[in-house]
Amino acid sequence: MPAVKRTGRSSPTRVLLIGLVITLVAVVADAWYMTGRIARLQTLQADLADRNRKDSLQLLRIQNDLNSLALAMRDMLDSDQPYPLTAWSAQFDRIRSDLDDAIRREAEVAVASRTPEQSEYLKTSVTQFWDAADRIFALARDGREEEARAQIRISLQARQAALGTTVARLLVQNNEAEEETAGRVQAIYGQVQRQVYWLVAATLTGILLTSLLVIRSNRRLFAELAVVSDERQELAQQLIATRESSLREISRELHDELGQVLTAIGSMVGRAARQAPVGSTLQADLQEVRGIAQSTLDKVRSLSQTLHPSALEQAGLESTIDWFVSTVQRQTGLSVSYERSGPAREVDSAVGIQVYRVLQEALANVARHAETDRAWVRMRFAPDTLVLEVEDHGKGIDNTEPARRGLGIIGMRERVTLVGGALSFTRPAEGGTLVRLTVPIPPVEHGEHKRKEARAG
């Protein structure tokens, strides 16, 4: 038998683990990078975009108040108005309260791009505007309305216009900052998107390389397993053939050598018994010895047939099974019903011995383990197959793991594999176990048939 080939190749586990670690590191690093970018996006949206929007709302509020002041000053300068300038004092106070609140809130949410000088200029301009307004209302209360109107035209409207320009400039600056923030957000989204593409590509590449390595390793492993399986099957075939050859030799030795010795002993004891006085004790003892020799000879012949049935080669498989069933009933007390169906076919001895051994092991299992006193053996011939069934209604075996019952069933499977057959273990409806053997039966060669006829003759 050829020796098992050792490839000397190392296990792919190390390479697979390295690939897995690299893939995990890449995924973790990329996840960390994307988490940082997403956090930056959140910061931009919270600290810049939202803050910029709130600041713009407050600036619009300030601008609206300044427009209200402009309308009020226009009405104050209208000569058709019958009211004195002091009549607008309450309106100015309301606008002043709202404007101061808007400036305070705007200072809290001012964008980071706002310089301290711009904020200070806005506050100073507003303070100067209200100081000028207070002086104008003071002149109006003193009855100097014409002078007060002149101050409105010269000073107050100019300050309001300057404030409006400053606020408009801040609004434009906020819009520019908002557009810049949107551009930065889009840039970060683009970076994250590209990074996701790179991650997916790297992950798919790692999976592809790992899968190719696994496929290559599996192909190599299955190839080695196929070699080992072939060598194991060859070894099993040789072991079974060696066992059958040894049993055949032992059977012949028992049948020929020991059988002839026992036959000779029986003959000599018979002659001695005939020469002894009739009715004497010696004659009785010799007859008893002769009976023991004959009984031993019968047992030796039975053991010889059990070890290797010579009837299989001389009379064929059907006659051998007939003989074996009757022997089992006589030796074990097991009642066996035997049925044969289909047109008889001649079975090659190499296949027949394996079928016989399976039947032998199956009935032995029934006698030892089934806890029943009855069994059924059925043999059916099909055009190109032989089906042998052994059924009992005892306690049965585990259908899921029948091979763990012992070496006997393992041997049965090995024998069936050698002849290209199939072996199954099922549970009949009545309980127990049904062993079904199916084997192909190729036609017996003409020379083999002639040798069997010669041995039978």
Q: What stretches of 267-373 adopt beta strand conformation (E)?
A: 335-341
Residue 310 CB coordination number (10 Å): 17
* 422-426: strand order across its sheet: 335-341, 374-381, 385-392, 433-440, 422-426
Residue 49 CB coordination number (10 Å): 19
CA distance 432 to 402: 13
Q: Please give the C-alpha separations between residue 170 and each of 63, 105, 158, 164, 174, in angstroms, as whole numbers.
A: 11, 15, 18, 10, 6
Domains present along the chain, CATH in parentheses? 13-214 (1.20.1330), 312-456 (3.30.565.10)
Q: Which two structure tokens, joined as six digits, stand for 64? A: 């609206």
CB proximity list for 166: less than 8 A, separation 6 or greater: 121, 122, 125
pLDDT of residue 455: 46
Torsion angles phi and psi, residue 335, rounded to 5? -80, 115
CA-angle at 423, arms to 422 and 428, nearest 5°: 130
The answer to whether 370 and 395 are in contact (CB under 8 A) is: yes
pLDDT of residue 435: 93
Interaxial angle between packed helices 157-252 and 281-307, expressed in degrees from 0 to 180 and rounded to the nearest 10: 140
The answer to whether 373 and 399 are in contact (CB under 8 A) is: no
The answer to whether 429 and 413 are in contact (CB under 8 A) is: no
Type of residue numbered 335? S
pLDDT of residue 454: 44
The answer to whether 319 and 311 are in contact (CB under 8 A) is: yes
pLDDT of residue 237: 67
CA distance 453 to 456: 5
CA distance 454 to 457: 5
Q: Which two structure tokens, joined as six digits, stand for 441? A: 């039966």
Q: Residue 354 in 3-state DSSP? A: helix
The answer to whether 231 and 1 are in contact (CB under 8 A) is: yes
Q: What stretches of 160-233 adopt beta strand conformation (E)?
A: none
pLDDT of residue 402: 46
DSSP label of 409? H
Residue 225 CB coordination number (10 Å): 12
Considering only CA atoms, which of 338, 321, 330, 425 is closest in space to residue 375?
338
Considering only CA atoms, which of 349, 382, 351, 379 is closest in space to residue 449?
349
- pLDDT by residue for the chain (457 residues), tens only, comes to 444 444 455 666 776 777 778 777 877 877 787 777 777 776 666 666 677 788 888 889 888 988 998 898 888 887 676 778 888 889 899 998 998 898 888 888 776 667 778 878 888 888 888 998 899 889 888 888 888 888 888 888 888 888 889 888 888 887 887 777 777 777 877 777 787 788 788 778 878 887 787 788 788 888 888 888 777 777 766 776 677 667 667 766 666 667 677 777 878 877 777 777 777 787 777 778 878 878 887 777 667 666 666 667 677 788 888 888 888 888 788 889 999 888 877 888 778 888 888 888 888 889 888 888 899 999 998 888 899 999 999 887 765 444 445 667 888 888 888 888 899 999 888 888 999 999 998 765 544 444 444 444 4
Q: Which two structure tokens, joined as six digits, stand for 115? A: 């310089």
